[in-house]
Chains A and B, each alone.
Chain A
Amino acid sequence: MPNLALDDLRAPPTGLRPRSRSFWQTVGRRLARDPVTLTCAAVLLLILLAAIFAPLIAPHDPYRTSMARRLLAVGDHRHWLGTDELGRDLLSRLIYGGRMSLFMGFMPVVLATIIGGTLGVIAGYAGGALNMAIMRLFDIFYAFPSVLLAVAISGVLGAGLVNSLVSLTLVFIPPVARVAESVTTQIRNQDYVEAARATGAASWRIVTGHVLSNVTGPILIYASSLISVSIVIASGLSFLGLGVVPPEPEWGLMLNTLRQAIYIAPLNAILPGVMIFITSMCSNLISDGLRGAMDVKV
């Protein structure tokens, strides 16, 4: 490769090298030059802020039903995005719905990352029988398609927020553990870990000092890619009637109840799905952007 040689020639001689940047500074600079990731982050932040400050922003009470105002079309002068099958203001319900939908998208991934990440690092660092025991156990859960496992556990436990949270967390623990284990195994065999061990550093010190700092990035990147899946499956559970219980506003559940009105008010019926789609798409693109900026391959 001729370019490589040229680059070598252009590199400033040692001593005159510009101030070196830290890893996170480099990542930050790369992200700042990435318009797609920045736009997605802004959109997601907007939805999040709207959800948090829903009582201040929402034009109507999301729970107030009105038999006279059922299924008003999008563009109504009082209800901008129309109303649902019980005459509740759709815009307000979409704003409020972000609370539950975002929570159900992020929380299972956070929990699974903590639990699965810890178990994966332990398995990867310990190796041997402990690794076998932990990873083979996860292989069993890996043998279930993710949506099926989530539906099965939720179906058995019954509908409800906590049950969906439990089932989704259980779905995401094995894949996170698998990534954590494989990254840790790679790091464990690096020369610098060998060197640390040779100087007599304790296992705890090696794990916190060398292993964790090197595995956190890849694990977090992988976890961030699960958020969009989690949003889609969590709303899917509510869509099946297995997640959030009515009359709580939640995008998946709204999609489920409005489905009956698809022939009368098709635009209203698909609106909640637009929100799920935007959130899931933005999460995916942010995850891709982070992966590129941190130069991580998982």
Chain B
Amino acid sequence: MLTYFLRRALYTVPIALGVSIVCFALIHLAPGDPLSAVMPEGASQEVVAELRAAYGFDKSLPVQYLTWLRRVLTGDFGYSIMTRRPVLGEVAPAVVNSLILAAAAILIGFLTGLMLGLIAGYNNGTMLDRVVTSVAVTGVSVPHYWLGMVLIVIFAVNLGALPAMGMGTSGSADFAMDWESLRHLILPAISLSVIPAGIIARSVRGTVAEVRKQDFMQTLYAKGLPPRRIFVHVIKNAAPTVLAIMGLQLAQLLGGSILVETVFSWPGTGLLLNTAIFTRDLPILQGTILVLAMFFVFTNLIVDLIQSAFDPRIKRS
């Protein structure tokens, strides 16, 4: 068990390094000078050289990467070109806000997905199964940013029941656990939850139907086990596959919230990225993507470890 844990954890190191290289390369992929946003109009050669040296752009790429990596590892993500404030100071609160939204969406999406998937899987081939499956396909296909707009039209424009913008009263960027903040959370969380709900419903349905076809199910029924106990067996056998899908969705959600955050002006990583892109604030862009990607890498690690705890067969392969 421990060997598998260690091996899997060690495997994360090269992936994390690779991710950091991609994030580092992003800045150099950008057309034009990365300093163009701060460079004064018609700057002289000396000013340009001075600025390049100040930001470390005059060194060779490997040297730049190693310097950057060393700084990042100590929590120094550089400074925003626009606000001149530390990148981490801008990214951290945004990540927290995105996590709040993601957590709410996951709660809604996972519960709905699980419930729909179980209903369909238990009634495989019936009319109910077909209805649930079409609901799930709709969830997977819907452009979530558009769904957000539709929800705004219904609940904010027509009914005036829920707020359409921001995170709390008077556009504050701090989430308080009060009714007002929760009201702001409802619409974006629902928009963000439909895709994971659809994907999870489909995978739970498939897995549950598959498990219920296995020979041991006949045995369980034959020996007179009550349905409640049989249900536990179904869950235990379906769990590894479903957990894997859920873990992937959790991380996809955090990355995918960019669009929904834009629709609802939610002050999370999406909004930060959007601003960074249009002001060409590359350090912020790089920092946000690095943090989100690392989050993704570690979620995958944790999911794999949890999965192997459920299903000992995985460790052997």
Tell whether A145 pairs with B254 under 8 Å between CB atoms, given A241-B278, A262-B152, A281-B137. yes
Complex contact A148–B146 (CB within 8 A): no
Q: Judge whether B116 is part of the interface by a CB distance below 8 angstroms.
A: no
Question: Within the complex, what minimum Cβ distance (angstroms) separates A180 from chain B?
Answer: 19
A283 to B278, CA, bound (A): 32
When distances are taken between beta carbons in the complex, the residues of chain B under 8 Å from A30 are none
Query: B266 interface residue, CB < 8 Å from A?
Result: no
Q: How far is the CA of A285 from the CA of B202 in the complex (A)?
A: 13
Please state if A152 and B289 are interface contacts (CB–CB under 8 Å).
yes
Residue in chain A with minimal CB distance to B250 = A145
Nearest CB in chain B to that of A278: its residue: B141
A288 partner residues in chain B, CB cutoff 8 A: 137
Q: Mark B121-164, 1 if CB is under 8 A from A, else 0.
A: 00000000000000001101111111101101100011000000
Cα-based distance from A37 to B251 in the complex (angstroms): 32
Task: State A263–B15 Cα separation when bound (angstroms).
Answer: 46
- Chain B 27-47 interface mask (CB, 8 Å, partner A; 1/0): 101110000000000000000
Question: A262-288 vs B: 1/0 string, CB under 8 Å?
Answer: 110011011001101100110111001
> Which residues of chain A from 135 to 149 have any CB-CB distance to chain B below 8 Å in the complex?
136-137, 139-141, 143-149
Contact (Cβ within 8 A) A156 B29: yes
- In the complex, whether A259 has a CB less than 8 A from a CB of chain B is yes
Interface status of B89 (Cβ within 8 A of chain A): no
Task: Check if A239 sits within 8 Å of B259, measured CB to CB.
Answer: yes
Contact assessment for A143 and B300 in the assembled complex, using a CB-CB cutoff below 8 Å: yes
Instruction: Tell me whether B141 and A146 are in contact (CB under 8 A).
Output: no
Q: Shortest CB–CB separation between residue B100 and chain A, in angstroms?
A: 18
Which of A11-19, A182-190, A228-236 lies at the binding interface? A228-236
A52 interfacial contact with B, CB 8 Å:
no
The interface residues of chain A lying within 8 Å CB-to-CB of B289 are: 144, 148, 152
Q: When chains A and B are docked, how far (Å) is the Cα of A18 from the Cα of B22?
A: 58
For chain B, the count of residues having a C-beta within 8 Å of the partner chain is: 51
Asked whether A245 is an interface residue with its Cβ less than 8 Å from the other chain, the reply is no
Q: Report the Cα distance A235→B146, complex, angstroms.
A: 10
- Measured between beta carbons, the chain B residues less than 8 angstroms from A284 are 137, 140-141
Query: Known contacts A148-B258, A240-B258; is A143 also within 8 Å of B18 by CB?
Result: yes
Distance, CA A139 to CA B16, complexed state (A): 10
A59 at interface by CB-CB < 8 Å? no
Taking CB atoms, residues of chain B closer than 8 Å to A255 are: 145-146, 149
B105 within 8 Å of A (CB atoms):
no
The answer to whether A259 and B258 touch across the interface, beta carbons within 8 angstroms, is: no
Query: Is residue B97 within 8 Å, beta carbon to beta carbon, of the partner chain?
Result: no
B141 and A140 within 8 A (CB): no
Kindly list chain A residues whose C-beta atoms are within 8 Å of the C-beta of B150: 270, 273
* B141 with A228: CB separation less than 8 A: yes
The yes or no answer to B115 lying at the interface (CB within 8 A) is no
Residues of chain B in range 274-311 having any CB-CB distance to chain A below 8 Å: 274, 276-278, 282, 285, 289, 292-293, 296-297, 300
* 0 or 1 for each of A124-140: is its CB under 8 Å from B? (1 = yes): 00000000000011011
Q: Which secondary structure characterizes the binding site on chain B?
A: helix
Our pick among B143, B254, B262, B274 for the contact of A280 (Cβ within 8 Å) is: B143
Q: Which one of A143, A276, A280, A283 contacts B297 once the chains associate, using CB atoms below 8 Å? A: A143
- Asked whether, in the complex, the Cβ of B145 is within 8 Å of the Cβ of A239, the reply is yes
- Quick check: is B14 within 8 A (CB to CB) of the other chain? yes
With both chains docked as a complex, state the minimum distance between the C-beta of A103 and any C-beta of chain B, in angstroms. 17
Contact B14 A136 (CB under 8 A): yes
**Measured between C-beta atoms, what is the minimum distance from A280 to chain B in Å?**
4
Q: Which of B229-277 contact A (CB under 8 A)?
A: 251-256, 258-259, 262-263, 273-274, 276-277
Given contacts A141-B22, A156-B285, A281-B138, contact A273 B143 (CB under 8 A): yes
Q: Are B19 and A143 in contact (CB under 8 A)?
A: yes
CA distance A67 to B188 in the complex (A): 34
The answer to whether B255 touches A146, judged by C-beta atoms less than 8 angstroms apart, is yes
A218 at the interface (CB under 8 A from B): no
State whether the Cβ of B9 lies closer than 8 Å to any Cβ in chain A: no
CB pair B22 A140 closer than 8 Å: yes
Give A146 to B150 CA distance when docked, in angstroms: 24
- What CA separation (Å) do A141 and B255 show in the bound complex? 14
Give min CB distance, A286 to chain B, whole Å: 11
Q: Which residues of A contact B107 (CB under 8 A)?
A: none
- A148 with B255: CB separation less than 8 A: yes
- Measured between beta carbons, the chain A residues less than 8 angstroms from B259 are 147, 236, 239-240
The reply on A157 being an interface residue by CB < 8 A is: yes
Whole-angstrom CA separation of A139 from B254 in the bound complex:
19
A273 adjacent to B146 (CB under 8 Å): yes
A136 to B19, CA, bound (A): 12
Q: Which residues of A contact B255 (CB under 8 A)?
A: 144-149
* B153 partner, pick from A145, A232, A266, beta carbons under 8 A: A266
- Contact status B296-A143, CB under 8 Å: yes
B137 touches A143 (CB 8 A): no
Alpha-carbon separation in the docked complex, A161 to B302 (Å)? 38
Contact indicator B146/A276 (Cβ below 8 Å): yes
In the complex, the answer to whether B256 meets A145 with C-beta atoms within 8 Å is yes
Would B143 and A277 count as touching, CB distance under 8 A?
Answer: yes
Query: Can you identify 7 A-B contacts, CB atoms within 8 angstroms?
Result: A139-B18, A144-B19, A145-B255, A145-B293, A262-B153, A266-B158, A276-B146
Q: List 12 extra interface pairs beyond A137-B18, A155-B276, A232-B144, CB under 8 A.
A: A145-B296, A152-B273, A152-B285, A157-B29, A239-B259, A239-B262, A242-B277, A255-B149, A259-B149, A266-B153, A266-B158, A280-B143
3 closest A-B pairs by beta carbon, nearest first, are A145-B255, A273-B146, A140-B18
